[in-house]
Amino acid sequence: MAIARLLPSSGLTGSLILLPLLLLVVGLARRSASSLQPSATQPDSTQPDPAPLGSAGPASVGRNWDLWFVGPALLIGGLLHHRLGIPGSDRLVAAALYLYGAVVILRSLPHLTRALGRSSSTTRPGWQFFALPLAFFLTIAPWATSQRPPDGDEPWYLLVVHSLVHDLDDDLSNNYAEQSSLAFMERALEPQPHDPKTKGGALLSRHGMLLPLMLVPGYFVAGFTGAIFTMLLLGSALCWLTVSVHQRMKITRSSTSVLVWALFALTAPLMLYSHQVWVEVPGALLLLLGFDQLRGLAAKGAKEANARWPGKELLTLLTVFILLPILKLRFGVLAAALGGLVALRSRLPRRHVVMMGTASLVALAGVLLYNQRTFGNALRIHNWYELNPLRQEMGTILFRLAGLLYDPAFGLIAFAPIWAVAIPGAWLLFRRQGNIAIDLFVLAAPYTLLVASRSEWYGGWSPPFRYTVIVLPFVAIAAGQALELRHTRGARTLLAPLLVSSAAAGALWTAMPGWTYNFANGTAYWVDQWTRLTGIDWMRLLPSATRPSTASWMVPLFTSIALVLIWVGPTRSLRQRVDGRAAGAFGLGAAVLISIAGIAVIRSLPTRHIEGESVAATKTGGHPEPRKWALDRTLHREGWTLRHGERWTTPVKPDGDTLTLRLALRLFRNRQEDLDLVVFADQRPIGKLRLSRSDEWVTETIGPVDWGDARELTIEVSPPLNQGEPGVVNGVALDFARFQWD
């Protein structure tokens, strides 16, 4: 735990101090594998096992210049960066740390392929596949935890841990009174809504106890640092188990399994969650462990399954069935799906299946009974109606499912574009490994459908891909099928831009950890910054899970079709190896040229539509409408509310001399008088509106009016006509402004 003590609030210095540990682990991992020869046991295939992506083949083994020279240079430069006086240099060093860690691990893939090639379906991967992610996560954690303190539900989980360690109970009333949260963050916590209170006056947490219990040993030894170190251990164990499952399934080559492991560990979202206190990572570990045992039982013949008592497998599956709903009640859906697959696939005697089902039902009933007695509600803070995903329209469900991948605030592909390979991978998985694909679909589909119907994700605040991180290892299995064909021309062309953009995204999330937490309002911090930089309203051009638009449908649909067609076809070239560097350079160059050309074309287009809340428009006051934390945001129209005397201004690129302007508006009346809007072209008034109908959306038209050579449109809310009670004013929400030029 001496290493772990470097974590809390030590910031960039702590990360740099831990950098030699990463170099040491990488060096030992390469050395331990350099003398190994690959095993003759490989997945059935007519293709040779290609070298891992980014490697120079066997000749690269033993070249450690990145450890001996680049690493020390980065360490020295990072420790002295403050002397350069460059604003934001600490963030640049943090980004460089991420990129360096990713590069040295990627350059180790040939060594790791040798190590994994020595294992068979009955053995487990070596220590390298656990130690390398742990060293990488350790290097990033001091900086990340110092830049983004615990947020969301994290502080309350930690407060329960603090109470268990110091008070030996789960009563939080004294911890709130004593402000115990100051031991791991800079603000004092208050009770959350729906926290139960016992008849004896004890104040409990609405969150489950399993995760806090897992963090108790680490917190007892090293406080907040120990809790974070425990989460790092869980994330590293998930990486190790992921590559283990890949290897035991024997559906990808060793080099592909190692590559999937690297992408899983080095990119968002796992890289972000490794140092955060959420239930999804331990949940993913439990679920993947259960799936691994299921695959082991399914691989046994009927006679073998009946010949002996499968104590190890049954005990593991029982543990998974019991712990998943205790960890988080919604994970019970995954436990139920896993139990159904065990009954269908495992070939176990009926008595064993009945025993496991009975034990699982008893455990679930115990959880529901505890909730009923403690909270007065078997589902804690939710209700049975929420369990019905069909309460939402199917179009809304599909729209939200697309957002799980593409939404700029929470989507998997938006935060790490390399995960786009899972789309053609899913196609290939169903074609090549139908049984496995069906099993994964049965496991993941009900839970994902439940997530898509939850109002919380589509209106509150959350880190990226949070609710579906638990099924991320299954996404990795699909990605592995696509990466089996990474040597084809189409794959090589796509991989280069996907890898470069994912590396850039990972560096950005490391440098700016706060940018990974967004409100579900159709935009994200990085989108807003890109809008300010380019002057283009990107909000309306990107798919969103909360703001229905053409992009919300067209981008996922055409992107998915294009990925499958380019990656998989043409069929004749599937087995033809190509010059990877040439194809990669072409793909990267094409992506850069297309991006530059796209931005240039968009910038040249005349103004047709501006969203009210877009950061492309400047405001002198007001607030977003609906406000932050509003749930089921798809039921509301996003806008920006202006009050008396406030202005909204947007740059305009005209396409004619005459303008017809349409404004979508909603009056909020707090005093008995109408509200006047004045519209300006630069400083020249071009129209005036009086709003009298309150609490309903209306579309008002101004024009046609002479636009002239103006470059800005301003909407101003006139001051109130009569003196009223101070602070009581009317407001108007602007959804959008549409421009028609003649």
Residue 501 predicted with pLDDT over 90:
yes
> What is the structure's pLDDT at 478?
95
The answer for residues whose C-beta is within 8 angstroms of residue 362's C-beta and 6 or more apart is none
Mean pLDDT of 378-387: 73
What does the mean pLDDT of the chain come to? 85
The answer for residues whose C-beta is within 8 angstroms of residue 392's C-beta and 6 or more apart is 400, 452, 453
Q: What's the CA gap between 138 and 653, in Å, rounded?
A: 49
What are the beta bridge partners of residue 731?
643, 668
Mean pLDDT of 256-276: 94
> Token pair of 397, please?
């469900």
User: Max CA-CA distance within the chain?
Assistant: 90
> What is the structure's pLDDT at 44?
42
Torsion of CA 126, 132, 135, 136, to 10 degrees: -160
Type and span of the H or E element at 740: strand 731-741
> What is the structure's pLDDT at 573?
45
> What is the percent of the chain with per-residue pLDDT over 70, rounded to a whole number?
89
Residue 502 predicted with pLDDT over 90:
yes
- For residue 52, what pLDDT band results from cuts at 50, 70 and 90? low
> What is the structure's pLDDT at 119?
63
Q: What's the CA gap between 297 and 299, in Å, rounded?
A: 5
Residue 48 predicted with pLDDT over 80:
no
> What is the structure's pLDDT at 269?
94
- For residue 738, what pLDDT band results from cuts at 50, 70 and 90? very high
Amino acid identity for residue 521 in this structure:
N
Helix 254-266 vs helix 109-117: angle between axes, to the nearest 10 degrees? 130
Looking at residue 543, what DSSP letter applies?
A: -
Mean pLDDT of 72-96: 87
Residue 168 predicted with pLDDT over 60:
yes
> What is the structure's pLDDT at 416?
95
Q: What's the CA gap between 214 and 278, in Å, rounded?
A: 12
Chain position carrying tokens 């602007």: 734
Q: What's the CA gap between 699 and 252, in Å, rounded?
A: 57
> What is the structure's pLDDT at 1?
42
> What is the structure's pLDDT at 724?
62
Residue 726 predicted with pLDDT over 70:
no
Mean pLDDT of 182-205: 86
Instruction: Return the top range by mean pLDDT from 10-14, 403-407, 422-426, 686-690.
Output: 422-426
- For residue 722, what pLDDT band results from cuts at 50, 70 and 90? low
Mean pLDDT of 170-183: 92
> Token pair of 246, please?
């890949």
> What is the structure's pLDDT at 10?
61
> What is the structure's pLDDT at 575?
45
Q: Who has greater pLDDT, 199 or 14?
A: 14
Chain position carrying tokens 């702590």: 14
Residue 157 predicted with pLDDT over 80:
yes
> What is the structure's pLDDT at 121?
55
712-717 sheet: strands from edge to edge: 618-619, 647-651, 712-717, 675-681, 684-691
Residue 230 predicted with pLDDT over 50:
yes
| φ and ψ at residue 12, rounded to 5 degrees | -65, -35
With beta carbons less than 8 A apart as the criterion, state whether 341 and 294 touch: yes
Helix 128-147 vs helix 11-34: angle between axes, to the nearest 10 degrees? 170
Out of 264-278, 520-534, 650-664, which region has the weakest mean confidence (pLDDT)?
520-534
Residue 152 predicted with pLDDT over 60:
yes
User: Which domains, from first to last, does the chain contain?
Assistant: 154-206 (no CATH), 610-741 (2.60.120.260)
Give the tens place of pLDDT for each residue, 430-457: 998 888 999 999 999 999 988 887 766 6
Looking at residue 194, what DSSP letter applies?
A: T
> What is the structure's pLDDT at 35?
64
Looking at residue 725, what DSSP letter applies?
A: S
Out of 4-13, 66-75, 372-381, 633-642, which region has the weakest mean confidence (pLDDT)?
4-13
Q: What's the CA gap between 652 and 607, in Å, rounded?
A: 6
